[in-house]
Structure 1
Amino acid sequence: MAPPHDFPLLPPGFRFGTSTASYQVEGAATEDGRGPSIWDTFTAEPGRVVDGSTGAVACDHYHRVDEDVALMKELGTGGYRFSIAWPRIQPDGRGPANPKGLAFYDRLVDTLLANGQQPMVTLYHWDLPQALEDDGGWLNRDTVERFADYAAIVGEKLVDRVEHWIPVNEPNVASILGYGMGTHAPGKAMLFDCLAAAHHLLMAHGRAAIELRRVGAESIGCANNHAPIWPASDDDADVGISKIFDALWNGMFLEPMLLGRYPVDLMPLFEDVMQDGDLATIRQPLDFYGVNYYNPMKIAAADEESDIPFDFREVVGYPTTDFGWPIVPDALREWLVMFRARFRAALPPMMITESGCSYNVGPDEHGVVDDQARIDYLRAHVNAVSEAITRGVDVRGYYTWSLMDNFEWAEGYTQRFGLVHVDYETLERTKKKSFQWYADLIRAQPQHL
């Protein structure tokens, strides 16, 4: 192990973990009563996924829980953030629980605890039961109540053993990419009409939080995707439109959760979908605020003939991952510091609930996966969190994305985010060099010395 001073050091008690999502890792898409999700439907449509693949097998985590949890124990992480597949619990999104679906997560939680991993459960990581989508999906207000019923079922089963709960992962991505742009399931390109889905996803967050509290949950947070939004120039049009996009991508989700209101510029867009009491439902007390961070975005005013007013520009001057995303760890520090400065007493302790990078290196002739670029990325981003903490920001944990390579949504299996390499033909797991670095980072922390 390298000497401790070679590693970023975080305060005693800081939680290091890993993250995954059900559709991306589990497989077993038709086993033990699981119903179809919108991602099963979406991936079956030609042209939706770049390599034509699906999550039908993914990493086969459903059958390899013991092997995968053993990897977490070897890493030395203290927590594992995973999502529950709603179609495993309620195949049609309503009605009684599927006992075999509940049993899988019951055993997973027990296995995690037996190996020193505190569970952080995400109830919705985008795999909506297809039967609910057939009835309108997140455009239908009734889906909010179906989600509350589902949250109560899962909460009653697992609340005695789950440390942290997250109702909805990245409602901005789910609504804007799934219903606005059509690049994610369910593939609807409705542009600004997707805001009904955004509102209902926020309502689902609030209703699930209420149900989880009712059954005894003690720590409920969120996992919102946030990015600093940079104007492409000092031109008034670029500055103005970047502020509007910032309100849509960031403010539209954090302000209702923390302040019980939408950004003032966006309020007129919600008049037709919002009912009395909705914002109070969304603004439930949060025990932690989860930030999923990957990169900043640069925005310019689009040409008049464009369907949308935003023109997404390349963030130049920085190295990029194999996904083409700019690597700007200072933007994470910037976001955390500015977030605290803006919201102060309204902001609970924070967690980095996702942060990671795609590099597609595989095993060499000796079976070694030398992903030094991922090590450099993780070191820089953990350092950014450490610097934010020294500036007074209360950050309690860093959950890296991801434990293992997995199905990367519309990119299929073409992007690898894992600390563990997965051979998608044999499903063999191979620890990358970044795996050992992350383990050494954890062991170098003050509580381990």
Structure 2
Amino acid sequence: MRVALLGCGTVGSEVVRLLHSQSADLAARIGAPLEIAGIAVRRIGRDRGELPVDPAVFTADPFDLVKRDDIDVVVECVGGIEPARSWLVEALRAGKSVVTANKALLAEDGGTLHDAAAQGGGDLYYEAAVAGAIPLLRPLRESLHGDRVTQVTGIVNGTTNFILSAMGATGAGFAEALAEATDLGYAEADPTADVEGFDAAAKAAILASLAFHTRVGAADVHREGITEVTAADVASAKAMGCTIKLLCIAARGTAADGGETVSVRVHPAMIPLSHPLASVGDAFNAVFVEAEAAGQLMFYGPGAGGAPTASAVLGDVVAVSRNRLAGVRAASESAYADLAVRPMGEALTRYHISLDVTDRPGVLAAVAGVFAEHGVSIATVRQGAAGSGVAGRDEDADLVIVTHVAPDAALAATVQALRGLDAVRSVASVLRVEGSA
């Protein structure tokens, strides 16, 4: 089986090393040896260390490589939308099987890739696109096809999980925890994709598409990052017996007309310490799947890194290679349900709201009246000691309110109204609460 590799960076070079070191075992599992027939790179002369390949296999022309008649499998480790999309569409339409770790492309335009695979008759596998080495997408795509998945909740970005874990362990603020993550190599020089939730949102779209048999794109995902999470939020979560995680949540729902919908969102949230995801620390990933017959399932492990991601890539290479040798194709994309994506305003959630208020009689009643006006029920209220520590505000008090479940739009409108209340000096923070806290 002749393999074309697009990209030879952190993941691509690990794919080469693993393919070489495990060549005998891989050949036995597939029924034929794997051979790297070409590696497309931007700069051929770049120092890539001691890779176990003939330098003659490197090329700067990926289009020519994927068009070659002798290529069976194309492995893409470049990332980004273009030109990766054009390369893979070309390969798939030509009947080649494709293995990719490109979460951004799959979330942005996965439908085009699936259509091209159907047209050419090859396989499209992408286990490494979500949660690194954790076997997650294959179970959703195959093992749970006899069941009905109701919700998928996950921690799918290791950088943000490390930052939030560090804030919880040390009491540090966001900036300090980000600096530590950068020093240790967990955060990129430009961490925007991670800390603003773009990476997690792409993965959420892929998970929702598989779990609910519906094409869900990145634009369908409500996204919020963790840059506004403060040390005070973390302390408040601890006081409630909770921790804060950046969650991706994809869930079935019901529209007003009774039809089924799916909501997909990524945002920081408080979850109770009793929740299985609460103990997932450092840069690890975990995904909690709920299904009608199987019940609750959890997938856990390292979610990033060259070797773990390469492990998932090679697992896909073995699968598509065996299919080609057998002359069969894996099950095609399952998007038959075509559920409507529910707007974030209709998603049912809970809020944790911290208010800086004037410490005088009648304030709590006024605040409660705003909640009642918007149809939001209060679950708990906690009042801090008078005096916020802010100069000139000796008559301040802190109110921490946790709501019952309500539509997100009603909760957001409540917060907006609170900001206009005379007795409320400021809305210090707003966080959603998930789980059974």
The alignment's TM-score, normalised by the length of structure 2, stands at: 0.26
TM-score by length of 1: 0.26
Instruction: Return the structure number with greater relative CO, CA threshold 8 A, min gap 6.
Output: 1
Structure in which a larger fraction of residues adopt strand: 2
Q: Compare CA radii of gyration and give the structure with the larger one.
A: 2
